[in-house]
Amino acid sequence: LFWIILSVANKLVISFRGSPLTGNDLTLIKSGLSVADTYLSKSHYIVILITSIFAICLLVILWIFAPKHKNKINYPKNLLCLLLMFLILCGSNAIALKTNTISTNFWNIYYSYRDYGFPYAFSTTTLNSGIKRPSNYSKALVKSLTNCSSDELLALNTFNSNTSSNFENDYHPNIIMIQLESFFDPTLIEALTFSEDPIPNFRRLCKEYSSGSLSVSSIGGGTANTEFEIITGMNLDFFSPGEYPYNTILRTTAIESANTLLKEHNYTTHALHNHQGGFYNRNIVFSNLGFDTYTSVEYMDILGKTPLNWAKDDMLINPIIDCLNSSEGADFIYTISVQGHGNYPDHKVYAEPKITVTGPYDEGTLNSIEYYTTQINEMDQFVQTLIDSISKLDEQFIIVFYGDHQPNFNLSESDLSTNDLYSTEYFIWDNIGLEKEDLNLETYQLLSSILKKIQIENGVINNYHINHINDENYLSNLKVLQYDLLYGKKYAYDSIDLFTSSDLKMGVKDIIINDITKYQSDIYIYGENFTNFSRVLLNSTIVSTEFIDSSTLKLSNVNLKSGDSISVAQIGDDNTVLSSTSSYLYIKNMVKC
């Protein structure tokens, strides 16, 4: 029954996102439940409920009526048999691994599950994590791959302790990363015909600016892993199959990242996401990645949503401007969009869609692709609108637009003109006159290719990509560096723990309480920058809160007494408390901090 349940779950996960169920997915249950309504209909819930009840009843019936063993158990004999079975299993696994019948390296996790079988593949992803120690790992090799002297490491350690720049009078352009959810060129699906180009702006800009294809690690999901590779410059392939570093090492460990190296150049670093702040533990992970601020949907005024209730990407423009206005120097803004997210409806959503799709697929698939095409067409308009808005500012910019992975339409390689399900497109817009250079890159190489253009070469991983990308042992030595920085002796840092978690500020705008008044049986809280996710905490207990506008919250039928403590918290749909204001004491006709 255990394996049947997991196998059914695996089939459902593949149908939703295109990649199988892994052991690491079990750590995402809370996040998954928060978006379950997007993927499951009421009929799905009914089937799950009935099946669960049936399974429980079956177990109860077996417990009551199944024949019971009445003879005395021979424990020594049975334990010996169990030990023998265990040794046979270990031995057969070892032989299968040695003869390459099976493997622990899942370069393509979907095909690995298909080739090795669900029980073995799922167990492998459950029991393994992190990066295995490379056989050639040594201090001498690590030091030969890094260009930092002991004095530079000492300066870097001082910087991370005192948050002061090592580069005086250092100026660089603002860098904005725009990670477009499930964005790719649908005209690459060979059998389809579109009434017009779904992504005309993106296509034109690819021709005018540096662009190329981007190799990603997943299909239909795994957004956080694309983020991880870009922000850290680390290759996800070296981790255990199906691992999400956001749910393992990055929950507890602060590491080198784009943020730590850019802060040395006077950058202020921001993360933006028009979705739940606690999803993939980002409210914890982004601190360990060194971000200064994180603005999630709980801190945004979201007016536009898709029929599936995902925030539209043009809602990100004002928060991006707010990040730029929040600091005086250069900014690094990592922006994660959500509009293109599935699960794509197989029924007709738009009676008269702007772009129609035809091809040799069933009606449900064509409806899904048509819905997706509508969303990415709007995302394409967002790309141009953002560039137009940024162009009006009197600052220098580099903006990188790219898809985090392909959407899940259960396609095969042969359905695409590229024969590649693991690639998306990117381009680099700028107003500083960068020379056009078209490159096909791995995700973990993207940011270093940009930093090289503006002569930022610090950071162990960034420096390695810039100076060793053409080496014969480029990948094997990259694995050695990753192991050293994350799990090894940190020889690259002279065995010093250089990085600590940042004091992450949720939202760039302060949420403030200015006044509290009582009118009849209602309480009004007046302040600044409230959103639909603002909830009042009365004596540290969440109370039902009505959002009136960005400066007003209302409590109904609350018996407020002098001495009560009041604060306003931003709370996600998954009930994660992301931040709260200072507590205020209510005294009749007076509010005291």
Structure confidence at residue 592 (pLDDT): 47
Structure confidence at residue 18 (pLDDT): 66
Q: With contact defined as beta carbons under 8 Å apart, do 538 and 566 qualify?
A: yes
Instruction: Spell out the residues 6+ positions from residue 254 whose beta carbon is closer than 8 angstroms to its own.
Output: 287, 288, 289, 290, 499, 500, 501, 502
Least confident range from 92-96, 142-146, 157-161, 522-526: namely 157-161
- Cis preceding-peptide flag for 431 (omega within 30 of 0): no
Q: d(Cα 294, Cα 507) in Å, to the nearest integer? A: 6
Structure confidence at residue 505 (pLDDT): 96
3-state secondary structure (DSSP) of residue 212:
strand
Residue with the bigger pLDDT between 184 and 218: it is: 184
Task: Using the predicted structure, report yes or no on whether residue 165 has a pLDDT greater than 50.
Answer: no
* 213-236 per-position pLDDT tens digit: 999 988 887 899 999 999 999 999
Closest CA relative to residue 251, chosen from 275, 218, 230, 224? 224
* 553-576 per-position pLDDT tens digit: 999 988 888 888 999 999 988 788
Instruction: Spell out the residues 6+ positions from residue 136 whose beta carbon is closer than 8 angstroms to its own.
Output: 476, 480
Residue with the bigger pLDDT between 172 and 180: it is: 180
| Phi and psi based region of residue 440 (left: phi greater than 0; alpha: psi -120 to 50; beta: remaining) | beta
